[in-house]
Chains A and B, each alone.
Chain A
Amino acid sequence: LPTDFDWRDHGAVTAVKNQGSCGSCWSFSTTGALEGANFLATGKLVSLSEQQLVDCDHECDPDEPGSCDSGCNGGLMTSAFEYTLKTGGLMQEEDYPYTGTDHGTCKFDKSKIVASVANFSVVSLDEDQIAANLVKNGPLAVGINAVFMQTYIGGVSCPYICSRRLNHGVLLVGYGSEGYSPIRMKDKPYWIIKNSWGESWGENGYYKICRGRDVCGVDSMVSTVAAIHTTPK
């Protein structure tokens, strides 16, 4: 594994998006992972539609019947991959733009699919396996506890205490080997996370969180997706 890696340097990550006042983080995490997988499959970076997921995806967790993807009220990336697999794929952002609300009806047009899921998997919780899957398969959809993100401005977040209870869906796009950690008197490795709260939040929309410990549960719900090459009809 390389000591440092960042999919932004390889053109697999779209610009930071903004979910607005809507609990649709799960849809942005899902599209981010499929945008990266589609880039690896086709060589083209295409921004995908979160609104399609918000409006049309009501997939339920098979083991928890009450836990279904439900627009601004939340969802799960693995359920969204399942929906995308079943429905055939996702349209691009400009054909089905994001509105930040879930009051609309589903306007999915199958003829405008630009990215399709070949398969998806959950990744082992071992940090090296997470890094290996990131490098091999593209950006990963991950869950995180976002309690420290409300006040985060920059730097490498490495809280002494942080719940592992996951409440936010984000995209793991890379890792670094040397984050500044003055109180620990040494450089610490970190993950690079793409968030969906706009570029004015965090480090131009990104969050850095330290590796090596169970920090905010970032390594406890990781999924990877593979895309197949799709040509719009």
Chain B
Amino acid sequence: STVSSNEPEDLLIRQVVAHDDDLLMNAEHHFTNFKSKFGKSYATREEHAYRLGVFKANLRRARRHQKLDPSAVHGITQFSDLTPAEFRRTYLGLKRLRIPADAHKAPILPTND
């Protein structure tokens, strides 16, 4: 694997860790805990099976995020049974901003002392 950074001088030593596949190996167990912790239930067996599939995909996604963002902790959250599109549609809601030319700009503040 490769690691890219804007600060290559920081990468004198690359962290090497074993692949932690525990989450994926025990996905169904973690899904049961997830449902219990966040009070999730699904109306039909088909919906349950679909959400389990989404959950597994999100475990793989969390692992990718962990590699891309090693100083944070990524894993199972209350949104782990949502596809990225469902997550965006349901929980995000910032419209596109084009700041007008006549927008009132905050004055520049002194930052010494």
Contacts and interface: CB of A to CB of B under 8 A. Distances in A.
Contacts of B38: 200
B71 A150 contact: no
Interface string A74-112: 111010000000000000000000000000000000000
Interface in B1-15: 3-7, 10-15
A197 B78 contact: yes
B93 A72 contact: yes
Interface residues of B, number: 52
B105 A148 contact: no
A184 B6 CA distance: 11
Interface residues of A, number: 72
Interface in A183-204: 183-186, 188, 197-198, 200-201
A157 B39 CA distance: 27
Contacts of B97: 61, 76, 78, 143, 166, 221
Main secondary structure of the interface of A (DSSP, over half): mixed
Interface stretch (A5-13, A36-44, A130-138): A130-138
Contact of A61 (B3, B91, B98): B98
A167 interface: yes
B96 A67 contact: yes
Contacts, number: 183
B70 A183 contact: yes
Q: Which of B84, B89, B94, B98 has the most CB of A within 10 A?
A: B94
A26 B93 contact: yes
A153 B73 contact: yes
A119 B96 contact: no
A73 to B, nearest CB: 7
B108 A148 contact: no
Contact of B74 (A1, A148, A213): A148
Interface of A: 1, 19, 21-26, 61-64, 67-69, 72-76, 78, 119-124, 128-129, 131-133, 136-137, 143, 146-148, 150-161, 166-169, 179-186, 188, 197-198, 200-201, 208, 210, 213, 221, 224
Given A25-B92, A151-B77, A167-B94, 9 more contacts: A61-B98, A64-B96, A122-B103, A132-B110, A150-B87, A152-B73, A153-B72, A160-B4, A183-B10
